[in-house]
Amino acid sequence: MISRDKAPTAQETFMQMAQAAGLRGRLLVTVGILILVRLGIFLPIPGIDRARFGEAISGNNSVFGLLDIFSGRGLSTLGIFALGILPFINASIIIQLLTAAIPSLENLQKNEGEAGRRKISQITRYVTVVWAIVQSVAFSALFLQQFALNPGPIFVAETAIALTAGSMFVMWASELITERGIGNGASLLIFVNIVASLPKSLGDTIDLVQVGGREIVGRVIVLVLVFLATIVGIVFVQEGIRRIPIISARRQVGRRVLAEQRSYLPLRLNSGGVMPIIFAAAILSLPLLIANFTKNPEIANIVSTYLSPSGSQPWVYALVYLTSIIFFSYFYSSLIVNPVDVAQNLKKMGSSIPGIRPGKATSEYIERVINRLTFLGAIFLGFVAIIPTAVESALGVPTFRGLGATSLLILVGVAIDTAKQVQTYVISQRYEGMVKQ
């Protein structure tokens, strides 16, 4: 009888984390870089009247809320890392869209292996630099200049250079975490930035409860229960898997005849993980940013009415948000799982799905299953992202505004992915120890 190793418990995981030098080093690198990036948030951009800036943004949370959270309050504090990881995320969106449209980029990704992926990563860095320069110049010239102590071209140039340099450092830090640390660097940076905004939201909520009395206490309790139910739904979506049965044909190896083996092909309900939510939120933040930069009353009115969760037409915002999540879920699913490649690999290994002919029929069957799973996962993600925000508005508890389901999705998704990666390292260390013995 073949014994199967169980997944390590939490206590075993922490014990082996402390004992494994490689994992311990990765954890220290990750924590050190995250602390360094957080410190950069508080390095101020010089030459700005912060009192006037604070007054200007105090009533503009609908515009700056999401961006400010993703940058770890970098926008409200006006640090050199104010743009944070957003230029890199936007550049990644652009490159991934172009990869699906330009054959040469698609060839790099699919057929060139590790060398192709490195080239795409390098192109993404170049696009990030250009995008960061554009955002920095626009942010400095169209918005920050009105609060400058000495406005003019020199102020715009100095501020744009500082913001671009800060954004490049954050991009480098995220890639360093991905390569030498634990987890996805970009996701972890956003995770830390969201966590950093929790104390302020909790403090504002406590102040609201103290002022509002029992009625507000009841509303806050209802909101907390909705958040807990949302977390349960997020875990359900993140961990949902469809197992497609696979049968391996009998094989003869020398004089031995290997019996027919049964296994399964796991397909995730939400194969894109947390990235569709991050990308959808980044896309929705662009109109708000443009409206604030242009200062056009008509554009600002349209954006605040239709593309803001607190506007007079929140259903339009919800519909656009849901559509963006569905689009990026399908897009990410197409990048992660290629049904044709899966069908060819199964055929080469002499495996098949019961009742399905190998080859084209198998790829079509897998594609149908993936499309259904992706649709269900995207719809569920969309509703999970929209409902808590709607409940916040209905209950009149604005202290968690901007820290709704989008942030919860990112927090839970990144926590699950990082915990799984840590567990993978622990299991690999265990097997390495067994081999050495």
Return the pLDDT at 398: 63
Distance CA 275, CA 409 (A): 10
Region at 15 (left for phi over 0; alpha for psi -120 to 50; beta for the rest): alpha
Beta-bridge mates of residue 251 = 258
- Report pLDDT digits (tens) over 187-239: 888 888 888 877 777 777 777 777 766 777 777 788 778 878 878 887 877 77
Distance CA 379, CA 269 (A): 11
Distance CA 44, CA 302 (A): 33
Structure tokens at 10: 């939490």
- Report pLDDT digits (tens) over 330-354: 887 877 777 888 888 888 777 888 8
Return the pLDDT at 224: 79
Structure tokens at 63: 């515009």
Other CB atoms closer than 10 Å to residue 71's CB: what's the count?
27
Q: Is 126 exposed, middle or buried (0-12, 13-18, 19+ CB in 10 A)?
A: exposed
Distance CA 30, CA 37 (A): 11
Q: Are 87 and 167 in contact (CB under 8 A)?
A: yes
Structure tokens at 175: 């890639």
Given the DSSP bridges, would you call strands 241-248 and 261-268 parallel, antiparallel or unpaired?
Answer: antiparallel
Longest dimension (CA), the chain: 86
Closest CA to 388 of 309, 326, 287, 278: 309
Other CB atoms closer than 10 Å to residue 336's CB: what's the count?
13
Structure tokens at 94: 């652009």
Q: Are 51 and 88 in contact (CB under 8 A)?
A: no
Given the DSSP bridges, would you call strands 241-248 and 351-352 parallel, antiparallel or unpaired?
Answer: antiparallel
What is the total residue count of the chain?
Answer: 437
Return the pLDDT at 3: 37
Distance CA 236, CA 241 (A): 10
Q: Work out the end-to-end distance of the chain between its first and last CA atoms, rounded to an integer number of angstroms.
A: 22
Return the pLDDT at 172: 92
Per-10-residue mean pLDDT, the chain, length 437 = 46 58 80 88 83 68 58 74 85 80 78 80 91 89 82 89 91 89 85 80 76 74 81 80 80 60 81 74 72 69 68 72 84 79 81 83 88 87 75 67 66 81 74 57
pTM summary value? 0.73
Distance CA 77, CA 74 (A): 5
Return the pLDDT at 131: 92
Return the pLDDT at 351: 80
Other CB atoms closer than 10 Å to residue 411's CB: what's the count?
19
